[in-house]
Chain A
Amino acid sequence: MTAITLNSINKRFGPVHVLKDISLQFDKGEFVVLVGPSGCGKSTLLRMIAGLEPVSSGDMIFGDTRVNDLEPRERDIAMVFQSYALYPHMNVERNLGFSLELRKRAAAEKKDRTSHAAGILGLDKLLDRFPKALSGGQRQRVAMGRAIVRDPQIFLFDEPLSNLDAALRIEMRIEIAKLHQRLGTTMVYVTHDQVEAMTLADRIVVMNAGQVEQVGTPLDLYSNPANLFVAGFLGSPKMNFVAHDDAALNLPSSLTNPSAQTYGIRPEHIKVTAPDDTAHLVGTIDVVERLGSDTIFYINHGATKPFVVRVPGIDRTAIGEKIGCQFQPEDLHLFDQNGQAISEHKNG
């Protein structure tokens, strides 16, 4: 069953066309992540789902109800803001229960549900505190607790982790994943962090410049990016792109395709070999990063951007050495002159 249907949604701010003809369907219980660079329109789209921005044209449908004209409070949603948006003049307990207070629920029910949510998030001991007296991570939990208390049809997250430090971000990421497993509610999550997208999502929507570039499961997007943008956006370090006429490139004809303008290969899919004729690309090492678990080489092959190689473990090859790189045919991504992926290899 579909939870949210977006039907040719457009958004204009005056003359600026921010979102162009977005059509998507989110299933019930699905965790969907909207990801893209800042300014791509992902937050605007989320705010339109929430009812905080009017829809310029198109249909916004929850279940089988058209909600374009419904106020946020009538949409049965909850939202976690980047800034947490905790009410500074209310203590944690009132913050959690505010939505129930507005609906004039009985005190007992309110107490029940706030303490339930507080229990899930470990906020039991903080109920009397005011937001000012909470740490970043605690505020984040209260913001999530407020959403849990609502028990809404849809959970919305607007870059909820971007104000936290790295360690806390990972911890909260896991909390959110657990929360989704536990509640099974439809969740729509906006982030610019591709790691969050990859780890949390059932499905990822990659957006750029007001348009949807590709929709799919994380692994699907990783393995079969539809175009240069998606290929370059997901994965860390980024996929290497080499022009088809790059002098350093030495692909056997079995791997090439006459319409391919750009070849893409992920750093982790490269085997380091001797710099001889069997190598598909040859260059000298400019920079080495040894992470312990991995070693990353930045290779100068005559182009402006270095060619990045990631090999597992500790590799002692030194700066200035010449090395060769080899790829597996199935790891090579081919893009035509429009940047679209060419799905079939020539001899594929």
Chain B
Amino acid sequence: MQKTAFPIGAVLRYFAIALYVLFALFPIYWLVKIAVTPDRLIYTEGTQIWPSNFTLDNFVSVLFLTDFLVYFKNSMIVSLGTAFFTTLVATAAGYAFSRFHFRGKTIIIALMLITQMFPLLMIIAPIYKIMAGLRLLDSLTGLIIVYTAFNVPFATFLMQGFFDGIPKDLEEAAMIDGCTRFEALRKVIFPLTLPGLAATLGFIFTAAWSELLFALMLINSDAKMTFPVGLKTFVSKFAVDWGQMMAAGTLALIPSCLFFILIQRFLVKGLTAGAVKG
């Protein structure tokens, strides 16, 4: 669109971009590289950019000789469940913030902000007690409930932003055309927030996929462990088996990275004021 005045500027820009890409990708590359390095070469060629030999053994043993697949399944259930319920609850709340003026709005927003402010560690013990009382300890359902609660505030603000970008006139027109408010939401507003919903879903999925602390505290049986917890026990168990750890790490990376690449466009779009208009 704009012409760059002097090629020097363009060269510098591309150089800077290349540096960023390198910085972002190198650690991930290294993870994959160690994972495909045969065990016998790890120490001798550990710091070379590419090993002289290539193997998938580490992946095979991680997949078939460990509980990796169980962790993977648990993490999938928890992350998908959390993403779904958080988005559902946050959509409703974000819609209310965007479309209604009501008593107590400021207080509720302030409370939601406070939830983002204190060290979570402080409330882990009380939560543990509550979950124990509800018999939701060591259960994926319990984890989903807790994750949903903690992700709702941010997701709500995100969804509110998306709704704010949709003119209010649209649902008023729909209500005059014959919709109830809820129908207007479902038939007119909802289809327009789809990019926003996708962004929120992906964002929450990634967050839930990464969470370690609550999973560590609320889950104790091997059969219910999510990825981060599993990988952590894995690290302590196989402290010297670098190749296997890195292979497990690489595999853990795949779902959240896939999700993220799919949604990051929507995220920027959604955060841009009024992007949905027109």
A–B direct contact (CB < 8 Å): yes
A-side interface residues toward B, CB under 8 Å?
Answer: 50-52, 71-73, 75, 77-79, 81-85, 87-89, 98-99, 102-103, 132, 146, 150
Does B176 reach chain A (CB closer than 8 Å)? yes
Closest Cβ–Cβ distance, residue B154 to chain A (whole Å):
27
A73 CA / B174 CA spacing, docked (Å): 9
Q: How far is the CA of A102 from the CA of B175 in the complex (A)?
A: 10
Contact across chains for A79 and B178 when beta carbons are under 8 A apart: no
Residues of B within 8 A of A98 (CB): 174, 177
Q: With a CB–CB cut-off of 8 A, which chain A residues contact B183? A: 102
Report the minimal beta-carbon distance from A94 to chain B, rounded to whole angstroms. Answer: 11
Q: How far is the CB of B182 from chain A (nearest CB, A)?
A: 11
Contact B180 A87 (CB under 8 A): no
Between A and B, 8 residue pairs with Cβ closer than 8 Å are A73-B178, A81-B173, A83-B169, A84-B169, A88-B170, A89-B188, A102-B178, A132-B278
B169 touches A81 (CB 8 A): yes
Contact partner of A71 (CB less than 8 A), chosen from B167, B169, B180, is B180
Cβ of B180 and Cβ of A73 under 8 Å apart? yes
Assuming A72-B176, A73-B176, A79-B176, what are 18 further A-B pairs, CB within 8 angstroms? A50-B172, A50-B176, A52-B175, A71-B180, A72-B175, A73-B175, A73-B178, A73-B179, A73-B180, A78-B176, A85-B167, A87-B188, A88-B192, A98-B177, A102-B178, A102-B179, A102-B183, A146-B173
Give chain B's interface residues, CB within 8 Å of chain A: 167, 169-170, 172-180, 183, 188, 191-192, 278
Given A52-B172, A102-B183, A132-B278: A146 touches B177 (CB 8 Å cut-off): yes
Nearest A residue to B277 via CB reads A88
| Closest A residue by C-beta to B190 | A89
How far does the Cβ of B176 sit from chain A's closest Cβ, in whole Å? Answer: 5
Once the chains are docked, how many angstroms separate the CA of A77 from the CA of B172?
Answer: 12
Number of A-B residue pairs at CB separation under 8 A: 60
Point out the residues of chain A lying under 8 angstroms from B176, CB to CB.
50-52, 72-73, 75, 77-79
In the bound complex, what is the Cα–Cα distance between A260 and B183 (angstroms)?
A: 59
| Least distance between A138 CB and chain B CB atoms (Å) | 14
Residues of A within 8 A of B177 (CB): 73, 78, 98-99, 102, 146, 150
Q: Please give, as numbers and ranges, the residues of chain A lying within 8 Å of B167 by CB-CB distance.
A: 83, 85
B170/A85 in contact, CB under 8 A: yes
Which of B167, B175, B177, B278 counts the most A-chain CB atoms under 10 A from its CB?
Answer: B177
Looking at the complex, which one of A75, A82, A89, A132 makes contact with B191 (CB distance below 8 Å)? A89
Chain A neighbourhood of B169, CB < 8 A: 81-85
A91: min CB distance to chain B, Å:
13
Give the shortest distance, in Å, between B221 (CB) and chain A (any CB).
47
In the complex, A82→B170 CA distance in Å?
11
A81 touches B180 (CB 8 A): no
Whose C-beta in chain A lies nearest to the C-beta of B103? A14
Chain A residues in 8 Å Cβ range of B180:
71, 73
Bound-state Cα–Cα, A127 to B169, Å: 22
- From B170, B173, B178, B192, A103 is in contact (CB under 8 Å) with B178
- Structural contact, B278 and A79, CB atoms closer than 8 A: no
B173 contacts A85, CB within 8 Å? yes
On chain B, the residues within 8 Å of A79 by CB distance are: 172-173, 176
Please give me the residue from chain B that is nearest to A87 by CB atom: B188
Q: Considering the chains assembled together, what is the distance between the CA atoms of A24 and B108 in angstroms?
A: 41
A98 to B191, CA, bound (A): 15
Is A88 a contact partner of B172 (Cβ separation < 8 A)?
no
Alpha-carbon gap, A198 to B191, bound state (A) = 41
- A89 vs B166: C-alpha distance in the bound complex, in angstroms? 12
A146 CB contacts on chain B under 8 angstroms? 173, 177
Tell me the complex Cα distance, A83–B192, Å.
17
Taking a contact as CB atoms under 8 Å apart, the answer to whether A85 and B178 are in contact is no
Nearest Cβ on chain A to B186's Cβ, whole angstroms:
11
Q: How many angstroms between the C-alpha atoms of A81 and B175 in the bound complex?
A: 13
A75 to B183, CA, bound (A): 17
Most A Cβ at <10 Å: residue of B170, B191, B278: B170
Q: Which residues of B contact A50 (CB under 8 A)?
A: 172, 176
- Which of B176, B179, B183, B192 is most buried by chain A, counting CB atoms within 10 A of its CB? B176
Q: A77 to B176: give the CA distance in the assembly, Å.
A: 7
For the complex, what is the distance from the CA of A88 to the CA of B192, rounded to whole Å?
A: 8
